[in-house]
Amino acid sequence: MGDGCPWRAYSSSDTRVEKASISHLVLDIVLRRCPLGERGHHSLSFFNRSDQDKNPASLLCGDDDEDRRIPLPMNDSMFNFLAIVLRSMPEIDQCSWNSMVSGFSQHDRFYESINFFICMHAQDFVLNQYSYGSALSSCAGLKNLKMGTQIHASVLKSPYERDVYMGSALIDMYSKCGNVGCAQKVFYGMSQRNTVSWNSLITCYEQNGPAYEAIDVFKKMMNSGIKPDEVTLASVISACASLSKLNLGRELHNRVIKCNKLRDDIVICNTLVDMYAKCSKIIEARWIFDTMPIKTIITETSIISCYAKSANIETARSIFVNMPDRNIVSWNALIAGYTQNGESETALGLFRKLKQENVFPTHYTFGNLLNACANLADLRLGQQAHTHVLKHGFRFESGPESDIFVGNSLIDMYVKCGSIEEGKQVFKNMACKDWVSWNAIIIGFAQNGYGVETIELFKEMLAAGEKPDHVTMIGLLSACSHAGLVDEGRCYFNSMNKEFGIQPSGDHYACIVDLLGRAGFLDEAKDLIDNMPMQPDAVVWASLLGGCKVYGNIELGKYVAEKLIEIDVNSSGPYVLLSNMYAEMGNWGEVKRIRKLMKQRGVVKQPGCSWIEVEGKVEVFMVKDRRQAKKKEIYQLLRTLGKVMKLFGYNPIAHELDENEEGSSDFH
């Protein structure tokens, strides 16, 4: 045997095993170190038989030929023992090799499996469909596309090129390595296909996208006369969840209900709960959850996410607390729920509890943590979270997918906290960047008023080969608006479809209308709205109304305000803006008319709100707020400051207030 063969790593240099039989010393070591159970020790007794031609590698599988591929309970010591056994054999047949390649693969020992496969090939043994299938499964487990492609090349030269089992294994390998194109080519190049083949391609699209292709392949499968099994249904239901295809999901659910075999299948029930949860159908999701005979962590986590997304966060927490077992995915679901529902302080508290319980956080955990810090605009907390990120090994220099995800979250947190330089530094330190990275830094610079710098970043993005999307263009147009770059904004808006294939949406129109309105091009903005390919929404009209207020165009402002009121009669925004415009013109009769109209329609202006952090605690203040513990001291200080301000010529603007509020304008 060549020195490069893998089993040499398992035995020390002084290990001596009889060539024709197994040493009693080795058996003693294995019996003492391998808790194999009754069946495992029965298998060891196999070596005491007189028939030494029996295959020792069959310990990895059943003793009988027909049971050869059913794995037995194994552990590291047993694998090491088998490697020594294989080394001791004077001759190793093809079945022994295949058993080792298959056994290591089935027990997630992928490196060893591939090494045995390579040695088997080096020893000039004929590779069959079981050798190739197990090796491809190991490549899939390691996501080793290069090795998988090399094995595929060998398959093409073998008699198994058109074997249906081999085709399914190749599709699975390419799928798990993320190469959808090659998986598709293998599938459509197969002369025969079975349920496993169809399942492999459906699962490929469901896991790698686009999810709608999984549904299309499922329809082709049904038309070809192949019956779906539990794997098919689970994958297609999961695709429905990704696409929020509720009607098709319900059709598949009905198919499951009609089949006794599938009705209580745990995997299918889990996907159904997830599908209904993602489609915001809490009642259906909860009904399946309650009727499941066995609930797994996956099921409970799905229902937690369902309640969290529907703003029923307390029910989500109740389920979380009562879970017999929790993993990091469960923690992530609850932390994300609190973050998404605006309860960022609670989300941060859950992260601290997670650390106290020694649960190891993932990149998703840190993404939620950083989102919570961004929501609070708390730079100090964000910097502390960044320290935790670095302690857990996310360095951004190597560029794995998880590091990119955390890096993007860090950029978003820093720019939302106003620390542009720290956000830019994280961006620069990232070895690999995706379109989310570019969008995060572009949006961040735009929101903080760096118009020229945003345009430079956009040019760098194009030079790096990244294609902009609709989010990129919103950031770019917003930057032009805030910086008053009218010509540049017009140019980028007109180039969206021509150069980048992006059809402008309502959000893009709102940005360009805001740009034109701020610059005083009100008629041009109005013409643009009139020629929109879709119905203008409230955001678009509000952007124009803001420009009307700045430039005092009362006629156009009145027209725009009426359009806004048509869209939402209960929104106070257009009433207040129009009232302010009349007030600035001194037309107090119209101001009173609008206030009266608001009262008649029951429209209430939302009170202003401010936040301030004092000694690590965020305090919230609202207009005429008298709930504060130190309200007397606060209002006394405000009166003092008001008197000082008036000495310097400050005159409070009272036209936004009702008559009975004007005396208390200092407290607004």
597 lies in the same domain as 614 = no
The pLDDT score that the predictor gives to residue 525 is 96
- Residue 599 in any domain: the answer is yes
pLDDT mean over 101-128: 87
pLDDT at 283 over 80: yes
User: In the predicted model, what is the mean pLDDT of residues 344-355?
Assistant: 94
Kindly state whether residue 535 falls inside one of the protein's structural domains: yes
Looking at the structure, tell me whether residues 593 and 619 fall in a common domain.
no
pLDDT at 123: 82
Q: Express as a percent the part of the chain with pLDDT over 70.
A: 80
The whole-angstrom separation of Cα 517 and Cα 238 is 45
If asked whether residues 571 and 583 sit together in one domain, one would say: yes
Band of pLDDT at residue 652, cut at 50, 70 and 90: low
* pLDDT(459) > 50: yes
In a domain, 668, yes or no: yes
Total domains present in the chain: 2
Integer angstrom CA distances of residue 370 from 214, 286, 304, 409, 512: 34, 30, 21, 6, 31
643 and 666 assigned to the same domain? yes
Name the band, by pLDDT with cuts 50, 70 and 90, for residue 48. Answer: very low
Residues 618 and 595 in one domain: no
Chain segment 161-217, per-residue pLDDT in tens: 889 999 999 999 999 999 999 999 999 999 999 999 999 999 999 999 899 999 999
Tell me the mean pLDDT in the region 646-667.
56
Residue 556 maps to a domain: yes
What is the structure's pLDDT at 294?
87
> Average pLDDT for residues 479-491, to the nearest whole number?
93
E strands, 91-220, in order? none
Chain position carrying tokens 């923690």: 331
* Residue 73 confidence (pLDDT): 44
More confident residue, 479 or 26: 479
Report whether pLDDT(1) > 90: no
Indicate if 550 and 578 belong to the same structural domain.
Answer: yes
Single-letter code of the amino acid located at 107: H
From 590, 606, 622, the end of a domain falls on 606
pLDDT band at 2 (very low <50, low <70, confident <90, very high): very low
Asked which of 606, 632, 656 is the last residue of a domain, the reply is 606
Same domain, 593 and 631: no
569: domain range?
505-606
SS3 612: strand
Domain final position from 606, 634, 650: 606
Of the listed ranges 38-42, 111-115, 249-253, 639-643, the one predicted with least confidence: 38-42
* Upstream peptide bond of 574 is cis (omega within 30 degrees of 0): no
Q: How many Å apart are CA 647 and CA 77, to the nearest integer?
A: 87
Question: Are 580 and 637 members of one domain?
Answer: no
**From the centroid of its chain, how far is CA 662?**
50
Q: Is 206 helix (H, G, I), strand (E, B) or coil?
A: helix
Q: What is the pLDDT of residue 616?
A: 64
Predicted confidence at residue 601, as pLDDT, reads: 82
Tell me, yes or no, whether 589 lies in a domain. Answer: yes
Residue 23 has pLDDT above 60, yes or no: no
Share of the chain above pLDDT 90, in %: 52
Position 16 pLDDT exceeds 50: no
DSSP string of 565-599?
Answer: HHH-TT-SHHHHHHHHHHHHHT-HHHHHHHHHHHH
pLDDT of residue 392: 86
Which region among 31-35, 265-269, 442-446 has the lowest average model confidence (pLDDT)? 31-35
Return the structure tokens found at 2: 């060549």
Cβ-proximal residues to 25 (8 Å cutoff; 6+ apart), any chain: none
What's the rounded Cα separation, in Å, for the pair 178 and 601? 57
Residues 622 and 639 in one domain: yes
Residue pLDDT, tens place only, 594-649: 888 888 888 887 777 777 777 666 677 777 666 666 778 888 888 898 888 888 77
Residue 572 within a domain: yes
Domain presence at residue 85 = no
Model confidence pLDDT, tens digit, residues 248-257: 999 999 989 8
Q: Are residues 613 and 588 in the same domain?
A: no
Predicted pLDDT at 76: 58
pLDDT at res. 83: 62
For 3-45, the DSSP string reads TTSGGGGTS-TT----SSS--HHHHHHHHHH---HHHHHHHHG
Helix (H) or strand (E) holding 610: strand 609-614
Look up the CATH number of the domain holding residue 539.
1.25.40.10
Sign of the C-alpha dihedral, residues 632, 634, 637, 639? negative
**Model confidence at 409: pLDDT above 70:** yes
Q: If you compute the radius of gyration of the chain from its CA atoms, what whole number of angstroms results? A: 33
pLDDT given at position 89: 60
What pLDDT shows up at residue 163? Answer: 92
Mean pLDDT of the chain: 82
Q: Worst-scoring range by mean pLDDT, 87-91, 150-154, 408-412? A: 87-91
Residues 560 and 650 in one domain: no
The reply to whether 529 and 561 lie within a common domain is yes
Assess if residue 515 is contained within a domain: yes
Mean pLDDT (whole number) for 481-502? 93
- What's the CA gap between 304 and 310, in Å, rounded? 10
